[in-house]
Amino acid sequence: MRKYEPLWNLIKAKSTATIEAPVDLHARIIQAVKKEKSMDKGYKLLTLESGTKFVLRHKITGTRITFYLQGTLRPSLSNL
């Protein structure tokens, strides 16, 4: 299991997760979680079938990073 995979799995399951880390590691953690999301092929297929696109967002408050998934509807090809 990769280092940030458990964090991504928690975000995926609950749509949100908060961690506390030193400020100088925030950029690395955010980038790593984005990479985990992009590597998750099963998640991509499930969201493609559901017609919803989920964007990974984050909010930083002091030493805490809160990740959350924000969903938007994909345009249907039949509606075009």
Structural domain boundaries of the chain?
5-79
The candidate with the shortest Cα–Cα distance to 8, out of 43, 38, 46, 37, is 37
Strand partners for 32: none
Look at residue 56 and tell me whether its pLDDT is greater than 70. Answer: yes
| 17-54 pLDDT, tens digit each | 999 999 999 999 999 999 999 999 999 998 888 888 89
Band of pLDDT at residue 73, cut at 50, 70 and 90: confident
Look at residue 77 and tell me whether its pLDDT is greater than 60. Answer: no
